[in-house]
Amino acid sequence: MSRALIVLALLTVAPVARAQLVDRVVAFVDDEVVLLSEVRERAEPELRMDPEADRLAVYRRVLGQMIDHELVQREARRLSVVVSSEEVASAIQRLQQQNGLDEHQWLRALDDQGWTAPLYEQVLREQILQMKVMQLSTFQRVEPVTDDDVRAEWERRSAAFERETRYRVAELTRTQPVGNGRDARDVARVRMESDLARLRAGSATMAEVGGTEVGWVRASELPAETRDLLEGLEEGAFSDVHELPTGFTLLQLLERGETSLGPFETLAETIRSELVAERYRVATEEAMAELRAGAMIARRL
């Protein structure tokens, strides 16, 4: 199962405090406290997935997330925002369906990654609450993305795009079994030369002699020797037979072009979505910064 399957979108957290460690307060948020045991519980799944991670750095990041959640909860009460059990259940059901898991498989996946079902549901509820609160808090902050904004961004990206030669290539390669001797290798070369003659005469196609189209390849992705072969070819032409350590190959240059960002009409909606997401991200950071500034926060970790 993909690690991304269970890792939450907004928070990275987890379970099980170690009884042998003495608990202590690691943060104050006005009159609320956060305990080390709570941080360890939230951090356990991440540490289980990456045992080599810097434990203290993970604890500190998780602590920051827990402090932010306390602030979001306060703002949610002020705005009368709630998350229903149905919303949490629906979100879990969507995750199960997206990953093709039944209930038993879902619970086993959670356990494999250090989660208990109640803790996962709690954190998912926190995520949904934060999303709803931030949507309300940032509504007035995020300016609509106009068509002019999208066009300007496309032009900016186009100007910065590094153009590069690319080739659409077909290839015919035949491997020569190791240990068959020089005579067998000579026979293989003669066969390749015969195929090349038929291709250049137009009496056979690449597909008919066993070749395949590779598709578009950037020049920078090719070995220097292959790049040199293609640079000297006209579109539609075939290279000479090239000897490899394991056999022989020849190439056909089907088409030559340049990489490009892509036409505005094709990319406009993608760019618009990215601009909206970026404006929402900035507005969310500003809203969270204001919530933090309005509270007395002290860390002890």
Q: Which residues pair with 257 in a beta bridge?
A: 166
Please report which confidence band the pLDDT of residue 273 belongs to, taking 50, 70 and 90 as the band edges: very high
Q: State whether 254 and 277 are in the same domain.
A: no
- Residue 50: inside a domain: yes
Burial-class residue 21 by CB neighbours within 10 Å (0-12, 13-18, 19+): exposed
Distance between CA atoms of residues 270 and 262, nearest Å = 12
pLDDT score, position 256:
92
pTM over 0.75: no
Same domain, 139 and 275: yes
What are the tens digits of pLDDT across the range 234-245?
Answer: 999 999 998 887
Same domain, 26 and 106: yes
32 pLDDT band (50/70/90 cuts)? Answer: very high
Domain count across the chain: 2
Query: Residue 185 falls within a domain, yes or no?
Result: yes
Residue 168 to residue 230: CA distance in whole angstroms: 10
pLDDT in tens, 82-99: 999 999 999 999 999 998
Same domain for 15 and 63: yes
**CATH number of the domain enclosing 31:** 1.10.4030.10
101 and 248, same domain (yes or no): no
Assigned domain for 263 exists:
no
| H-run or E-run covering 169 | strand 165-175
Who contacts 301 (Cβ-Cβ below 8 Å, separation ≥6)? 26, 27, 36, 39, 56, 59, 60, 63
d(CA 89, CA 84): 9
> How many other CB atoms are found less than 10 A from the CB of residue 230?
19
Closest CA to 250 of 297, 212, 299, 290: 212
Q: Which residues pair with 298 in a beta bridge?
A: 28
| 59 within a domain of the structure (yes/no) | yes
Domain harbouring 215, CATH code: 3.10.50.40
Token code pair at residue 86: 């149905």
pLDDT at residue 289 greater than cutoff 90: yes
Q: With contact defined as beta carbons under 8 Å apart, do 208 and 226 qualify? A: no
Rounded CA-CA distance 200/193 in Å is 11
At residue 288's C-alpha, the angle toward residues 282 and 290, to 5°, is: 105
Q: Which two tokens stand for residue 256?
A: 């030559």
Which residue is listed with tokens 């709803």? Answer: 132
Residues 26 and 169 in one domain: no
Q: CA–CA separation, 53 vs 58, rounded Å? A: 7
Q: Is residue 150 part of a domain?
A: no
On whether both 194 and 128 belong to a single domain, the answer is: no
Q: Is residue 28 part of a domain?
A: yes
Q: Can you tell me the distance from the alpha carbon of 78 to that of 132, in angstroms, rounded to the nearest whole number?
A: 13
Look up the domain containing 110 and give its range.
Answer: 3-145+269-299
23 and 63 part of one domain: yes
Judge if 81 and 42 occupy the same domain: yes
Same domain, 70 and 198: no
Same domain, 277 and 217: no
Whether 279 and 220 map to the same domain: the answer is no
